[in-house]
């Protein structure tokens, strides 16, 4: 994502739900408002649960980028 | 010369490994020492029963010494440091203990400080003392909103909050205050449990018993003065009684250690249970970073895998990693209330298929509670 600086990223490939979601929650807990954080996951359940959590928590899902090997990078901005 | 085996932790996992090794190895082959923080061994599943008055908190512990084989030396001295390079453990007394083989079974501890307001605002049943305080509050409870939930993942005995909720519903009904009470069960994920097959059964039972749920609830703060529990998702729940599983962490000396993460969960191979690719260090039970249940049952099935590897290493025998490996087996009872229980039995490859709750499974659970002392830590089954 051009112009967007990811403050912190966790590669959660190899861990299954809820691992990647918990990584995102941990990142958001420790981030400052406005920070952009990312989690990479190849887990199928995460593809549904992670965006759903971001929506429920009222943060911004900036992008879901495909990553080599069939994984996805979930990029999220902390809004509050 | 006899090899020196150190086992850190005198809970279920540490005790089983020590007792298997003591029966398998001769004194010429190894000396076996358990180093633990407490002279007592608590049967933690009993803590679930204390809040409802079904169990006396003074009767859930026994002397760890009485559970260990006579060849196992017991040191009661909390571990303060682990030096992997020099193969040494240092305890609070400043005594140091060298090892040839090390098993880390120090388990998990509750950390109420992680959540602002937790200590003042929440109750739980994860220590005998806290469970007894909750017993007194439930005795005096005359109706209102009880919020039950999880203060952070991972936590010990994943089904315990669900069992508590089922038993609470029965307790309130028998006390004839169910009509005046609301039970709200919260969970950090988008379902009531993190294993889909079990979640479906639990959710159906919650609906049947009018137990409400609040999902994606990751506790951030408790406001005891306003009696509000707040989540990082922005949800606020009012409560009259708040029963929250406290956040858990690994042993203090492991937090941030080179073989563990910041919370003290030890990097463990899911099959061999070896730690951080070291050839002479293993970990089991709550101590590991494995994404499986933190429960005595897990440690029970892991312990023989470690003991076999240590015996083979001492005897310089080759181990077929396909034959001596942990397959993720966990078996947990779920008390469902009204004298019935069901069971989760699963491994890495096979998710649980819980049968309908029956009185027979409940009696099996009661039998395990009674016979635990004679069978499990002593590694007789």
Measured between beta carbons, the chain B residues lying within 8 angstroms of A52 are: 190, 216
CATH of domain B116-247: 3.50.50.60
Q: What is the number of CB-based contacts under 8 A between chain A and chain B?
A: 34
Instruction: Judge whether A15 is closer than 8 Å to chain B, CB to CB.
Output: yes
Q: What is the pLDDT of residues B232-271, one digit of tens each?
A: 999 999 999 999 999 999 999 999 999 999 999 999 999 9
Burial class (CB in 10 A: 0-12, 13-18, 19+), B313: middle
User: pLDDT value at position B286?
Assistant: 97
A80/B188 Cβ within 8 A: no
State the total domains in chain A. 1
pLDDT class for B301, splitting at 50, 70, 90?
Answer: very high
B interface test, pick of A8, A20, A21 with most B CB neighbours within 10 Å: A21
A interface test, pick of B191, B194, B288 with most A CB neighbours within 10 Å: B194
Whether B194 has a pLDDT exceeding 90, the answer reads: no
Instruction: Judge whether A75 is closer than 8 Å to chain B, CB to CB.
Output: no
Q: Which of B165, B129, B136 is nearest to B53 (CA)?
A: B136
Query: What distance in Å separates residue A49's CA from the closest CA in chain B?
Result: 7
Query: What distance in Å separates residue A41's CA from the closest CA in chain B?
Result: 15
A45 part of a folded domain: yes
Residues of CATH 3.50.50.60 domain(s) within chain B?
3-107+251-314, 116-247
| Known catalytic residue at A76 | no
Instruction: Judge whether A19 is closer than 8 Å to chain B, CB to CB.
Output: yes
User: pLDDT value at position B92?
Assistant: 98
Query: What distance in Å separates residue B191's CA from the closest CA in chain A?
Result: 10
User: pLDDT value at position B155?
Assistant: 92
- ipTM, 2 dp: 0.82
A25/B218 Cβ within 8 A: yes
**Residue ranges making up the domain that contains A68:** 8-77
Instruction: Judge whether A18 is closer than 8 Å to chain B, CB to CB.
Output: yes
- What does the pLDDT average to over B32-56? 97
pLDDT in tens, chain A (80 residues): 667 899 999 888 876 667 789 889 989 988 999 999 999 998 888 899 999 999 999 999 999 999 988 899 999 999 99
- What does the pLDDT average to over B144-155? 94
A67 part of a folded domain: yes
| Structure-token match 């069901």, residue found | B342
pLDDT class for B32, splitting at 50, 70, 90?
Answer: very high
User: d(Cα B261, Cα B14) in Å, to the nearest integer?
Assistant: 21
User: pLDDT value at position A1?
Assistant: 61
Integer angstrom CA distances of residue A76 from A23, A39, A54, B229, B230: 12, 9, 8, 25, 22
A3 part of a folded domain: no
Q: Tell which CATH classification among 3.40.1400.10, 3.30.1960.10, 3.50.50.60, 3.40.50.300 matches the domain B3-107+251-314.
A: 3.50.50.60
**Which of B:191-210 have CB within 8 Å of A?**
194
What does the DSSP assignment read for B339-378?
Answer: TEEEEEEE-SSS---PPPPBHHHHHHHHHHHHHHHHHTTT
Q: A9, A13, A17, A25: which one is catalytic?
A: A17
What CATH number does the domain containing A30 carry?
3.30.110.40
What is the percentage of chain B residues whose pLDDT exceeds 90?
Answer: 93
User: pLDDT value at position B350?
Assistant: 85
What is the percentage of chain B residues whose pLDDT exceeds 70?
Answer: 100
Q: Are strands B3-8 and B30-36 parallel, antiparallel or unpaired?
A: parallel
A2 part of a folded domain: no
Measured between beta carbons, the chain A residues lying within 8 angstroms of B188 are: 18, 22, 25
Whether B90 has a pLDDT exceeding 90, the answer reads: yes
B153/A52 Cβ within 8 A: no
């Amino acid at each position: 994502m051009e112009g967007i600086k990811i403050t912190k990223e966790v590669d959660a490939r190899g861990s299954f739900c809820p691992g990647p979601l918990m990584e995102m929650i941990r990142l958001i807990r420790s981030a400052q408002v406005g920070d952009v954080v990312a989690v990479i996951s190849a887990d199928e359940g995460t593809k549904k649960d992670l965006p759903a959590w971001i929506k429920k928590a009222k943060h911004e899902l900036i992008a879901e980028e495909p990553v080599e090997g069939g994984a996805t990078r979930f990029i999220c901005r902390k809004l509050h | 010369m006899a090899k020196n085996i150190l086992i850190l932790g005198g809970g279920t996992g540490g005790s089983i490994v020590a007792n298997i090794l003591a029966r398998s190895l001769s004194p010429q082959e190894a000396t076996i020492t358990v180093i633990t923080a407490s002279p007592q061994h608590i049967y933690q599943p009993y803590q679930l029963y204390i809040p409802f008055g079904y169990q006396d908190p003074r009767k859930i512990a026994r002397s760890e010494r009485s559970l260990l084989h006579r060849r196992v030396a017991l040191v009661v001295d909390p571990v303060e440091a682990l030096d992997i390079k020099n193969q040494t453990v240092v305890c609070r007394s400043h005594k140091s203990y060298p090892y040839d083989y090390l098993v880390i079974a120090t388990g998990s501890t509750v950390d109420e400080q992680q959540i602002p307001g937790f200590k003042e605002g929440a109750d739980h049943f994860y220590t005998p003392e806290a469970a007894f305080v909750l017993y007194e509050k439930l005795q005096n409870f005359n109706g209102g909103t009880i919020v039950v939930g999880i203060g952070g993942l991972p936590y010990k005995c994943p089904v315990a909050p669900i069992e508590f909720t089922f038993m609470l519903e029965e307790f309130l009904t028998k006390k004839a205050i169910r009509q005046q009470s609301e039970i709200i069960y919260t969970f950090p994920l988008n379902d009531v449990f993190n294993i889909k097959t079990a979640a479906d059964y639990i959710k159906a039972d919650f609906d049947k018993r009018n137990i409400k749920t609040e999902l994606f609830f990751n506790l951030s703060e408790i406001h005891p003065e306003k009696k509000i529990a707040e989540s990082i998702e922005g949800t606020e729940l009012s409560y009259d009684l708040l029963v929250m599983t406290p956040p858990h962490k690994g042993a203090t000396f492991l937090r941030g250690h080179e073989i563990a993460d910041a919370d003290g969960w030890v990097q463990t191979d899911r099959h061999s249970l070896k730690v951080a690719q070291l050839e002479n260090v293993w970990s089991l039970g709550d101590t590991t970073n494995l994404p499986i249940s933190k429960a005595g049952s897990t440690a029970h099935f892991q312990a023989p895998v470690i003991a076999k590897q240590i015996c083979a290493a001492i005897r310089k025998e080759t181990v077929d990693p396909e034959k001596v490996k942990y397959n993720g087996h966990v078996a947990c009872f779920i008390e469902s209330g009204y004298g019935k229980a069901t069971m989760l039995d699963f491994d890495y490859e096979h998710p649980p298929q819980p049968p309908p709750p029956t009185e027979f499974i409940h009696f099996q659970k009661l039998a395990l509670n009674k016979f635990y002392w004679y069978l499990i830590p002593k590694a007789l089954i």
